Structure 1
């Protein structure tokens, strides 16, 4: 079994797990009433609660993570920054999904998604909302397999871009024209145009840096997935394989020096990490002997191992 095929097998297995969760979600929320306007939130962190299978968004103060409060939202992924909240959610039968974007306590835009929600981010200004979803039916390594679709919405212009696949891509110095390209994990800098993401093709993944305005990107390094840019713009966190076919763990790249530091206690992560500040990261991972993911926190300098913060929860986001 070659390396590329094995990677596809691992990816498909992980995605099937996500789809299974999504099916359970459909069963539990089809009787929900009309969407509830986004409530004003308190606390330091919002997240999706998993224990009751209804994907309700809750919030906590980091100083007292056991005291949860409801927000009125139901999402599979949620993120908030700069006064903008994006909720990736069930939108109708089929099932169908949408990115619901809110400001000032009300929905301002709803963008249909082509598949099962996977990742969500908002730029620090609140102007650029991004998402990734899993899509079936695309040509991607194996017939009937999954691919990813990553898009974004610019609230300043109202432009919604369905996919990064139309961008000019330069990989390891050469223009990349392969048809099996997939992108995921878009994270946008505070200038609302510089971005980082994952590009996958031919059984490999690359961390890429690009420009939303110029519709262009180029690779920085191999074997880096689901990047997340630090608030000060100096570091990128991403998940990275342990060995060639092992589980992922988090790593942090210093963009100035090129130094990469792996973070202890993060093995098994399958998430796009969230920066709580310039020094700490939150992420979801399934603890040993558990069935549901929990939110963990780890220092970005690798000085100590990750610790569990909120059980039975995923999609952590600062309340910004």
Structure 2
């Protein structure tokens, strides 16, 4: 039986095999790595033709053919050109396939890493081409590789060098893919937010202290709207500028903890409004002209804060003083007029 001749995907120039593509020194890393892949078709063809299994370039292993009948023994001595599993070639081929994928798909890959991958891929490709040329020459000449040649020190050294270079390329690719992964920082915890806002409140205290005297000359409950500051999270509610600024910071911390803003039921109260409140609540409301609501430094809160012992009230008692706000002693559970909902502002420091 005459073994069919092997047709390989290259062309000859003189006595040497000329690869279809060469990596140019002036090409970009993405193009260069792609060019380094040109020798893979040739390498895979040789590996498949001269080994008894199927080359699996993705894993770098040699997969045995399953379900196929064993080939009949042949009298043709050229039928055993190379019979050893060429794992070094397959490992190198897999590394180059991966290099092409990583460089093409990793848009954020730094230039320095691209260059390193390019150089290693070029070296590995050149080694594969040299190895393929030797295999092609034997296949064309139908000359068997003797057992002595297969186990020679030179052959083993070549395989070791090929494997080492492939491993070096693989390490570069591992680092490239690891550095390219965008790691999203975890959001700050409610405690961290509260601490950050309290720090801002402390730093701002001196600067905004000037607002404490900004309403001098106006009577309680007789402050013009333009002299007060609107709360961004409570429509229609106003306070003195410094009190409003610190309540805004407190609200950021509160929202981080409970997922919602403070519920403000009342803030600045005009004199006429205080008269109406006194009429409806009696002893529970301050005498008109003496309420801190009339100075724009008091709020009535709801949505959990208005009740003693709730998580909201407990949190506020612990953190609100860091912003200058507190449930005054007379309004606490053991005070003379318990009002969990009533909170007043005093400048920090």
Structure with the greater alpha carbon radius of gyration: 2
Answer yes or no: same fold by TM over 0.5.
Answer: no
Shorter-normalised TM range? under 0.3
Kindly indicate which of the two structures has a greater share of residues assigned to strand: 1
TM-score between the two structures when normalised by the length of structure 1: 0.21
